[in-house]
Amino acid sequence: MPIDVPIEERILILAPQGRDADVIRQTLSQHGLNCLICAGYAELMQQLHIGAGAALITEEGFNGADFSLLHQWLEKQESWSDFPFVILSARQSGQNRHPALDVLEHLVNMILLERPINAETLLRASVSALRARRRQYLSRRHLQEGARSEEHLRLALNAGQLGSWSLELATSVLQVSATCKRHFGFSEDSEFTYDDLLHAIHPNDRQRHRDVIETAVASSKDFSIEYQVLWPDQSVHWIQIRGQTVLNRIGIPVRMAGISLDISDRREAENHLLENQSALRRFNDTLELRIQERTSELAQANDRLMREMAERERTQIALMQAQKMEAIGRLTGGIAHDFNNLLNVIIGNVDLIERLADNERIKRMANSARNATKRGAKLTGQLLAFSRNQSLDLKPVEIESLVEGMKDLIAVSVGANIHVTFEIAPGLPRAVADLNQLEMAILNLAINARDAMADGGNLQIIVSLRDAADGILTSGTYVVIAVKDSGSGIPQEILGKVFDPFFTTKPVDKGTGLGLSQVYGIANQSGGLARIDSTVGKGTTVEVWLPVASVEAVPAPDPQSQELQLPLKESGNILVIEDDNEVRQFIVESLEILGYAVQHAENGWFGLEKLQHENFDLMIVDFLMPGMNGAEVIAAVRERYPHLPIIMATGYADMQAVEKVIGLDAVLRKPFQISDLAGSVKRALNANHPGNGKSPSAH
């Protein structure tokens, strides 16, 4: 059997009379079909268990066959499978029809051909059966991907202690998860209907629940409500319900779905805080009289109480914030890895098309697809930045050139009714920043300013050089980018919360609350700081402080200046370890185009096994893999082959684990193009053996 034809693509042939089997195989093989001749019915059943794409059987092959074996095999087929059989039958009258055909018609997915039959008909029937089987394999893949997505969602809900629910509006049929049942005091195996839900809601909140549901159905908008529920043991708990209305194709609400969360602990903490505040207010009402009656000891006790309450509130807020950010960081890390793998396959193959195609129209289309994929990669970076866990690509940046290049983009983004001015101090030094992330932060601030000036106004972008003077930042000189608007301003009581993730003053469908948090994270990771100052009715100013780059630092190369040309042919033996089949295929094909000899493995264990049996000049390994991640693979390789050059290709958000085992210079960030791959490989080989660009073998 050819190596490049999977077992599941085989056509099994059972034709026991004369040379029928050899003739059939020769006919099909001439057209590229992989065939296996079975000596008898027993071998046919054995090969079916191993795997095949279709079976081609003459009717005499069923003489004396035990159909119970076939029936048992068919019953074990999964829901996506309907294995095709092509049966060659002799042309006979009805009463002489082979009895096996009557059994097979009710048992299998059968294509019946009467002999004699020409080669073209036989080929078409075989190809049709194989094509149908391939569509079944595609359905299997979709089912597997759906199952994986459902598992990821289930893990995320369990991690956040969130329950899920769905309500059919026409029938009031309610479907809930086990966690949601627990929120209402029901066990996982108990029945829980919509009437049970309504009955569990506290009588004081039941009508409010109905009003919220009716309003959400009428407006087709998302909703959120908090109310008390009575458990079967009559204990009272607080539940938060969030949901949205699902419309059919003609815009009519048909279903509602959402999540539930037990907030009893939070409500209890809020009640305690309100009681303390109420007690404090009562104390303050009589403070003047008490001061006259009591000694200085009472004043000291009051001060101590105030400090303890403030400290406890700050501690609670900090703890909740840390827990929220930790959960988001874990979730975004997994999302970034999967999403960047998909983007890497797309941008890599589009890059190959653009480089290898001779047709200019195809090149233009490939370039448009590549630019769109780059925007997807930029979107992933925006998602990661707000959690403050992303390792930025910090390099010296010419701030003046960056802002100059954004003038037209900012003007178009804010609209014609806003007057935009720029004030850039001359002779500014380079600042330490991630160019792409900083550009995105400035644009976000400009759009926030636009939203604060609904009726138009003035927007100023001021870039200056200032010294840190308040002790918060490390002493030194900083490049300060100030975005100043003449909008409505922000009240002082919420000004301290604007950098928190998910906090927003915009309507529900107008903002995510990630923009300012992302700006703060970018400035903080760059070694600087983000500040905000605002006055209601007069406007808001947001400042981004960035440290000045050292004189020795080399500015980042302009990505636009890199020509899209294939490098010269190279040589060397490279091992690629990557669990994603499509990403692995792209890397292998790209390296082979570049002239390298390539071996590949789908996980760390197989990769280490290949290292034991063959010499390699370089290893490329993914970070996030099941069973054994890239950092563990590198640690094992370092013990056995300390001089082997290694490149880690990853789109994972948190780079701390990566930095422990390999320097950032040896990291190839996903998604990448073939030119990025070629440059990283060449640098790794040259760094290990600068004399001739070749690295020594691992053994």
Q: What is the mean pLDDT of residues 301-311?
A: 81
Please state which architecture CATH assigns to domain 565-688.
Answer: 3-Layer(aba) Sandwich (3.40)
Selection from 193, 271, 211 nearest residue 236 by Cα: 271
Query: Which of 496, 416, 484, 412 lies closest to 445 in space, CA to CA?
Result: 484
What CATH superfamily is the domain 160-262?
PAS domain (3.30.450.20)
What are the E-state strand segments in 327-417?
395-397
For residue 306, what pLDDT is reported?
Answer: 85
Beta-carbon contacts of residue 57 (< 8 Å; ≥ 6 apart): 13, 14, 15, 44, 85, 86, 87, 88
Position 403: which residue type? V
pLDDT digits (tens, 9 = 90+) for 644-662: 999 988 876 455 666 666 7
pLDDT for residue 55: 92
Asked, colleague to colleague, whether 7-143 and 565-688 share their fold, the answer is yes
Read off φ and ψ for residue 129, nearest 5 degrees.
-65, -40
* CA separation for the pair 118, 457 (Å, rounded): 81
The pLDDT of residue 549: 87
Return the higher-pLDDT residue of 450 and 669: 450
CATH class of residue range 7-143: alpha beta
Q: What is the mean pLDDT of the chain?
A: 81
Q: Look at residue 207 in the predicted model and tell me its pLDDT.
A: 92
**Nearest-angstrom CA–CA distance, 598 and 591:** 7
The pLDDT value recorded for residue 315 is 60
pLDDT tens track for 59-113: 888 888 888 888 888 888 888 888 999 999 876 555 567 777 777 777 788 888 8
**pLDDT greater than 70 at residue 474:** yes
Residue 347 has pLDDT above 90, yes or no: no
Tokens 């029901």 correspond to 186
Report the alpha-carbon distance of residue 309 to residue 687 in Å, rounded: 58
Rg (CA), the chain: 34
Q: Which of 286-295, 472-481, 599-608, 686-695 is the least confident region?
A: 686-695
User: What is the average per-residue pLDDT within 216-232?
Assistant: 90
Average pLDDT over residues 224-232: 91
Q: Kindly report which listed range (211-215, 277-281, 577-581) carries the lowest average pLDDT score.
A: 277-281
pLDDT grade for 1, boundaries at 50, 70 and 90: very low
* Secondary structure of 391-460 as H, E, C letters: CCCCEEECHHHHHHHHHHHHHHHHCCCEEEEEEECCCCCCEEECHHHHHHHHHHHHHHHHHCCCCCEEEE
Rounded CA separation 192/197 (Å):
7
HSE at residue 128, side-chain half, CA atoms within 13 A, is 13
Domain ranges of the chain: 7-143, 160-262, 341-385, 395-547, 565-688
pLDDT, residue 597, reads: 93
pLDDT per residue over 124-173, tens digit each?
999 999 999 999 999 888 888 877 877 777 777 777 778 888 999 889 89
How large is the average pLDDT for residues 404-413? 86
> Is 104 within 8 Å of 110 (Cβ atoms)?
yes
Selecting from 3.30.70.2660, 3.40.50.2300, 3.20.20.140, 3.30.565.10, what CATH number does the domain 395-547 have? 3.30.565.10
pLDDT for residue 470: 67
Q: Which pTM was predicted?
A: 0.38
Q: Is the pLDDT of residue 460 over 90?
A: yes
